[in-house]
Amino acid sequence: MIFFRYIFVQLLVPYFLGVTILTFVLSLDTIYRLVNLLITKGGGSSIVFLILYRMPQFLASTLPLGVVIAVIVVMARLSLDLEIVAMRAAGFGVKTLIFPVLAFAFVVTLTTYFMTLWAQPTGYAAFEAEKFRLLKSQASKQIQPKVINQDFSGKILYVDAKEENEQLLGVFIADQEIKEQSMVIMANRGKFNLNESDQEMKLELSDGAIHLTAEEPEIYRTIDFKTLNYVFQESGVPQESSAIWGIPTMELTSVDRKSALMELLLRLTSPLAALVLALAAIPLGVTDPRSGRTGSYLRAVILVIAYYILWMGAKNMTFKELVSPHILWWPPFIILLYGLYTLYKMDYNLKSFATVFRHLWSKKILSQ
């Protein structure tokens, strides 16, 4: 019990330091884009809320990685201070190290499950809602008469005048990049309408015409309209790949789509990285006191890279519908097997797979 509490407490400081640094690094790009949005368009407290709503997504990735950092740091320190040698000399085996590390990793896994199953989808839904409110409050205010506006992705917006009720007069919309097949819209009047149900930004145009070009220079078409709802997204606000991220976990089970099954399995398998990586990191962190810590850190980096190569490969194959989404269970299972193998080697001081096999075979023969 003393060793359990001693090792468990030792893991806390490097873990929280590692998670803090990793979360900061991972969120830098999003923070940069949101701060840039704050500078260019304002938004005040909305930007702070947007960053907070994205935190569960970052923590879902960094919480398991923090376990690897903590385990490697603590195991390397125990090795260099000869504490592991003293434990073994006192008759304590590898279980003395495994139990506190697994208990710590189990707590982190439960916390990560809280992030992936509840906090992450809730935060994503809140992020989308807050982003939409920001767009709604800023869209029409940013439009100034007789000024070319390029805040909309791939489009140019120009208006002759703007009335007090935010009604736009003399609206001109065109592609920023002239192509062989381009479209130009001109309308007498227009007004922004942001519908919260579908979270689309629409410009309601009236009394205008659409001018269309084709690959053949001699072909030119115009389409007159009385009313037209033009939908476009504002650039500068981070966009996500799929709104399915914001669906509550319990509702995912009732959605009959392969993307829903994949998202559900991602939420279920991602937290397992904390457990399996912690198990595999124990023997990697135990090092010869004469060799220093560098080897332990390098092996830890290789372990994390190998795990995420397996995980990203399984995820990409699922995205491309090459395999069933259930392949997402394989990366943690493979690392689990590797961790058990290396722990067995360390416990019996074996050097290779062949010696491990011979040792297992001899134990089987003796048991008979």
pTM of the predicted structure, to 2 decimals: 0.75
Kindly tell me if the per-residue pLDDT of 23 is higher than 90: yes
Kindly tell me if the per-residue pLDDT of 352 is higher than 90: no
Dist. CA 144–CA 117, nearest whole Å:
44
**Domain ranges, residue 322:** 2-136+244-367
In a domain, 293, yes or no: yes
In a domain, 311, yes or no: yes
Do 248 and 103 belong together in one domain? yes
Select, from the ranges 155-164, 300-309, 352-361, the one with the highest average predicted confidence (pLDDT). Answer: 300-309
Q: 294-319 and 272-285 are packed helices; what angle lies between their axes, rounded to 10 degrees?
A: 150
In the block, tokens 């703007």 appear at: 162
Query: For a pLDDT cut of 90, what percent of the chain falls above it?
Result: 29
Dist. CA 286–CA 301, nearest whole Å:
15
The three-state DSSP-derived secondary structure of 182-213 is CEEEEEEEEEEEEECCCCEEEEEEEEEEEEEE
Listed residues 202, 231, 260: the one ending a domain: 231
Do 15 and 101 belong together in one domain? yes
Do 196 and 251 belong together in one domain? no
- Residue 320: predicted pLDDT: 80
Select, from the ranges 67-71, 133-137, 215-219, the one with the highest average predicted confidence (pLDDT). Answer: 67-71
The token pair that represents 314 in the structure block? 């399984």
The token pair that represents 303 in the structure block? 């372990």
Do 342 and 321 belong together in one domain? yes
In a domain, 143, yes or no: no
> pLDDT tens, 237-262?
444 444 677 788 888 877 777 788 88
Which has the minimum average pLDDT: 132-146, 178-192, 295-309?
Answer: 132-146
Do 220 and 90 belong together in one domain? no
Dist. CA 34–CA 45, nearest whole Å:
11
Distances (CA, A) of 360 to 339, 340, 341, 368: 16, 13, 11, 13
Do 157 and 249 belong together in one domain? no
In a domain, 144, yes or no: no
Average pLDDT of 9-19? Answer: 94
Do 121 and 50 belong together in one domain? yes
Q: What are phi and psi of 256, to 5 degrees?
A: -90, 70
* CB of 340 closer than 8 Å to CB of 327: no
Do 118 and 252 belong together in one domain? yes
Listed residues 182, 201, 231: the one ending a domain: 231
Give residues with Cβ within 8 angstroms of 212, minimum separation 6: 181, 182, 183, 220, 221, 222, 223
Listed residues 204, 231, 258: the one ending a domain: 231
Do 207 and 276 belong together in one domain? no
Number of domains in the chain: 2
Q: 45-80 and 120-142 are packed helices; what angle lies between their axes, rounded to 10 degrees?
A: 140
Q: How confident is the model at residue 305 (pLDDT cuts 50, 70, 90)?
A: very high
> pLDDT tens, 51-101?
888 899 899 999 999 999 999 999 988 888 888 778 777 777 677 888 999
Do 259 and 350 belong together in one domain? yes
Select, from the ranges 251-255, 328-332, 341-345, the one with the highest average predicted confidence (pLDDT). Answer: 328-332
In a domain, 146, yes or no: no
Dist. CA 17–CA 169, nearest whole Å:
56
In a domain, 145, yes or no: no
